Amino acid sequence: MSKRRAGQRPSWALLVMAGIAAVFFALPLLGLIGRASWSTLGRDLTSAESLSAFRLSLICSVAAAGFSIVLGFPLAWVLARVRFRARPLIRGLVLLPLVLPPVVGGVALLTAFSRRGLAGSLLYEWAGIQLTYSTAGAVLAETFVALPFFVITVEAGLRAVDSRYEEVAATLGASRWHCFRHVTLPLVAPSVVAGGVLAWARALGEFGATITFAGNVEGRTQTLPLAVYLFLDSRPDAAIALSLVLLLAALAVIVLLRERWMGEA
């Protein structure tokens, strides 16, 4: 039982196709590393524009991940534990930003939250807040695309937790809050961490919805991906340097979550 089966001997055609696919993934990464101008890397990364993009990306992505957790957890809980008729509909709505082209997401956000949008107009009239072309708008756009990653991860995590643990806790005298704090949350914590990291990574890389909804304003909405796009024509070395940083962040996410996906089954 413990010995691995010798396995099937794959056909040559299959191996070649698999090899092509692997190279297809590896080549762009190698290109990025090969084309990087290492001597000017320090200067490219510490230019005023780059630093402002760093700062903004960090703030926006962490805020978006935070909103995803705060808004996403109750939603994931309801989807996992409460049976109601609109549940399939709500779940579909949550999944939509995953498959929707981000530009379309940006346009949709405009119709809802711009100064003349459904909710945005009220916000502007009552509070004088304008979300478009603001950092808050960039956070909003990033949250829109990041939230589904958190919700589906945590919903699956909650479903995997035997709800009878909560029943036991209740019969032992635990209030709902005590039970949530000491039983449900610790059991689902790995999913919350994974969902949070995924949401953060998605927010960090968000481009389409951000540029559509919040524009490309340096220091306010110009996050790393937007800066990369802008630099590509004028300062390709800087674009590649910033791309390397994003690549590093992606690698960090994979290392962080490796137990979850890359464990040897």
Partner 1 sequence: MTVEARIEVARGDFRLAVETELSDGEVVALLGPNGSGKTTFLKVLAGLIPLDGGMITVDDKCLDDPQKKQFLLPSQRPVALVFQDYLLFPHMSVLDNVAFGLRARGVAKADARDRANEWLGRFDIAEKSGARPAELSGGQAQKVALARALVTAPRLLMLDEPLSALDAASRVSVRRDLLRHLSEFGGATLLVTHDPVDALTLATRVVVLESGAVAQTGTVEEITRRPRSRYVADLAGLNLYRGSAAANSIALTDTQGEIVIADKAEGEVFALIHPDAVSLYVTKPAGSQRNLWPGRIDGIEALGDRVRVHVGGVLPLVAEVTAAAVAELGLHEGKDVWAGVKATEVSVYPA
Q: How far is the CB of 91 from partner 1 (least distance, A)?
A: 25
Q: How far is the CB of 189 from partner 1 (least distance, A)?
A: 8
Q: How far is the CB of 158 from partner 1 (least distance, A)?
A: 15
Query: In terms of CB distance, is 185 or 248 closer to partner 1?
Result: 185
Query: In terms of CB distance, is 125 or 167 closer to partner 1?
Result: 167
Phi-psi region of 229 (alpha: psi -120 to 50; beta: other; left: phi over 0): alpha
Angle between helices 48-81 and 135-160 (to 10 degrees): 40
**What is the size of the binding site for partner 1 (CB under 8 A)?**
18
Q: Which residue from 241, 158, 243, 252 is spatially nearest to 207, judged by alpha carbons?
A: 243
Q: Which residue from 46, 92, 6 is spatially nearest to 245, judged by alpha carbons?
A: 46
Q: How far is the CB of 172 from partner 1 (least distance, A)?
A: 4
Query: In terms of CB distance, is 143 or 184 closer to partner 1?
Result: 184
**Kind and range of the H or E run holding 162:** none
Tokens of 24: 């297809």
State yes or no: residue 37 binds partner 1 (CB under 8 A).
no
Alpha helices in the chain (DSSP H): 12-35, 41-46, 48-81, 87-99, 102-113, 120-127, 135-160, 164-171, 176-179, 185-205, 208-214, 224-234, 236-256, 258-261
Residue 118's alpha-carbon distances to 105, 174, 214, in angstroms, are 15, 43, 17
Q: Which residue from 245, 236, 251 is spatially nearest to 35, judged by alpha carbons?
A: 236
Q: Distance (Å, rounded) from C-alpha 76 to C-alpha 95?
A: 12
Stretch that binds partner 1, among 37-45, 48-56, 172-180, 217-225 (CB under 8 A): 172-180
**Pattern 131-170, partner 1, x by CB under 8 A:** -------------------------------x-xx-xxxx
Q: Candidates 43, 87, 116, 182: give the one binding partner 1 (CB under 8 A).
A: 182
Query: In terms of CB distance, is 174 or 232 closer to partner 1?
Result: 174
State yes or no: residue 259 binds partner 1 (CB under 8 A).
no
Q: How far is the CB of 117 from partner 1 (least distance, A)?
A: 44
Q: How far is the CB of 260 from partner 1 (least distance, A)?
A: 17
Q: Candidates 178, 251, 254, 255: give the one binding partner 1 (CB under 8 A).
A: 178
Give residues in contact with partner 1 (CB under 8 A): 162, 164-165, 167-175, 178-179, 182-183, 186-187
